[in-house]
A = this chain, B = another copy of it.
Amino acid sequence: METPYVLIDLEKLQANIDAMAAFARRHGVKLRPHIKAHKLPQIARRQAAAGAEGITVAKLSEAEVFFAAGFADILVAYPLIGEDKMARVRALLAKGCKLSLLVDSEAGAQQLSRLAAAEEARVYVKVDSGLGRCGLPPGPKLERFVAWLCRLPRLNFRGLLTHAGHAYGCPDPGLVAQVGRKEGEMMVAAADSLRRQGIPVAEVSIGSTPTATWGGQVAGVTEVRPGNYVFYDAVQVALGVATPEQCSLKVVATVVSRPAPGRAIIDAGAKVLALDQGAHGSGAVRGYGLLEQPSWQLVRLSEEHGILEGTDLPNVGDRVSIIPNHACPVLNLAERVWTSTAEQWPVAARGRVW
């Protein structure tokens, strides 16, 4: 295998998949994993075999790839806007895809309501549980929006959905747990408030790898949507969510230059490892990945170069493995990945952003 390449340890991968599936079973929540982490039907099939019910995707183009690969129960956890997107929603529904969609705006809800009755889509409303991205915060405005939406024709309101991505900004595991519990409690309270107004809320769906195992324990939460847990990465390690030993994905690179005593250059840069230093700009970690040798630091990335500093550095021609800061973009950059059993998997839903 020529460097740089992405290597997946299938034993560790399976252990991560099994552990999250066991958590979901133990707490009676549905596990609907987000495939944005891996973009690989091969991994989604392992998740399904372990007990996952359906998948989550971010973009419609990812739904199209996974529907073609045999996945029928798909939640697009992203507000779809535009007639071009609606035409593709119709096409997926017509082919028998059990599609769930997300709204957080009147314009978005009205578009979905114009889908024909025969093509009825299940709709989740996005709640902002603190990340400050999409969604409405719990409260009267959210309740008025859901009540209004339920009066629109042809919309099958299923429930509330959130992603507590602000957990990635937490400097210690205790705070991550707190954010996770709060995420679950806030969502259950919002659902109960709607129910008191006579609005049935079938699903209370929460997300994120750091918070899923905390929010998923809150009674009333029905669904968890972690994604990254199949791999984990240096950011999850920094948050105390995983150990380096649990990380199932590595980048393998070759030392191509030793221009100075304290500096080695590897052939994996930002085009392989990505520049992430924490999700949502959280800056959870320093440097650009975890190395086996604690005296080595990947201090800088150019597009094609990784700049390694430290003592006892490897020589030209040596190979090094890096646990990336954020595994998800690494898969998005790679054409293919290698497994520990020397299989080669093309990253089927790589770059599906539309």
Contacts and interface: CB of A to CB of B under 8 A. Distances in A.
Given A254-B81, A300-B280, A3 B329 contact: no
B107 A316 contact: yes
Interface in A249-268: 254-260, 263, 265, 267-268
A272 B353 contact: yes
Contact of A259 (B4, B84, B104, B332): B104
A143 to B, nearest CB: 15
Given A81-B254, A259-B135, A281-B300, A317 B107 contact: yes
A78 B256 contact: yes
B3 A354 contact: yes
A313 interface: no
Contacts of A258: 105
A276 interface: yes
A280 B302 contact: yes
A335 to B, nearest CB: 5
Given A105-B258, A302-B279, A317-B107, A4 B353 contact: yes
A107 B4 CA distance: 19
Given A104-B259, A257-B104, A272-B353, A302 B5 contact: no
Q: Which of A271, A274, A281, A334 has the most CB of B within 10 A?
A: A271
A134 interface: yes
B276 A332 contact: no
A192 to B, nearest CB: 22
A80 interface: yes
Interface string A323-337: 000001100111100
Contact of A351 (B80, B263, B276, B334): B334
Interface string A1-27: 011110000000000000000000000
Interface stretch (A45-53, A172-180, A238-246, A303-311): A303-311
A259 B302 contact: no
A300 B165 CA distance: 13
Interface in A20-46: 36
B82 A353 contact: no
Contacts of A334: 351
Given A270-B329, A307-B133, A105 B301 contact: no
A81 B333 contact: no
A274 B271 CA distance: 10
A306 to B, nearest CB: 10
A223 interface: no
A299 to B, nearest CB: 8
A173 B316 CA distance: 37
Contact of A305 (B134, B271, B304): B134
Given A281-B300, A334-B351, A351-B333, A275 B272 contact: no
Q: Which of A165, A260, A334 has the most CB of B within 10 A?
A: A260
Nearest to A316: B107
Q: Which of A256, A275, A307, A329 has the most CB of B within 10 A?
A: A256
A140 interface: no
B351 A79 contact: no
Given A279-B302, A303-B329, 7 more contacts: A2-B82, A107-B317, A132-B260, A133-B305, A135-B257, A270-B276, A271-B351
6 A-B pairs closest in CB distance: A107-B316, A275-B275, A79-B256, A134-B257, A81-B256, A58-B304
